[in-house]
Amino acid sequence: MKNLLIFGDSYSTFKGYIPEGYRFYYSPEGRKETDVTKVEETWWYPLLDELSLNLVLNDSFSGSPLAFWGWDGKDCSKDESFIYRLEKYIDEGFFEKNKIDTVLAFGTTNDSWIGTELGEIKFSDFERDDFYRVCPAICYFVGKLKQVAPSADVVFIMNTGLHEGIVDAIRASCEHFGVHLIELHDIDKRSGHPTILGMSQIREQVKAFLEKNEH
According to the model, what pLDDT value does residue 215 have? 54
- Reply yes or no on whether the pLDDT at 153 is more than 60: yes
Main-chain phi, psi angles of 122, to 5 degrees: -150, 155
φ/ψ bin of 182: left (φ > 0), alpha (ψ from -120 to 50), beta (otherwise): beta
User: Domain with 152 in it: what CATH number?
Assistant: 3.40.50.1110
Q: What mean pLDDT comes out for the span 5-33?
A: 96
Helices (H), 123-215: 134-148, 164-177, 196-212
| DSSP string across 70-90 | -GGG-B-TTTTSHHHHHHHHH
CA nearest 99: which of 153, 19, 61?
A: 153
Q: Is the distance from CB of 44 to CB of 54 less than 8 angstroms?
A: no
According to the model, what pLDDT value does residue 213 have? 83
Q: What mean pLDDT comes out for the span 157-170?
A: 98
pTM over 0.95: yes
Structural element, H or E, at residue 106: strand 102-106
According to the model, what pLDDT value does residue 202 have? 98
Instruction: State whether the Cα torsion 87-137-158-163 is positive or negative.
Output: positive
Q: What is the span of the domain harbouring residue 107?
A: 2-212
- Reply yes or no on whether the pLDDT at 122 is more than 90: yes
Q: Is the distance from CB of 106 to CB of 18 less than 8 angstroms?
A: no
Q: Is the distance from CB of 128 to CB of 178 less than 8 angstroms?
A: no
φ/ψ bin of 171: left (φ > 0), alpha (ψ from -120 to 50), beta (otherwise): alpha
Count of domains in the chain?
A: 1
According to the model, what pLDDT value does residue 214 have? 73
Question: pLDDT for 54-70, tens place per residue?
Answer: 999 999 999 999 999 99
Could you give the CA distance from residue 9 to residue 160 in angstroms, rounded to a whole number? 14
Question: pLDDT for 46-105, tens place per residue?
Answer: 999 999 999 999 999 999 999 999 999 999 999 999 999 999 999 999 999 999 999 999
CA nearest 192: which of 66, 9, 6?
A: 9
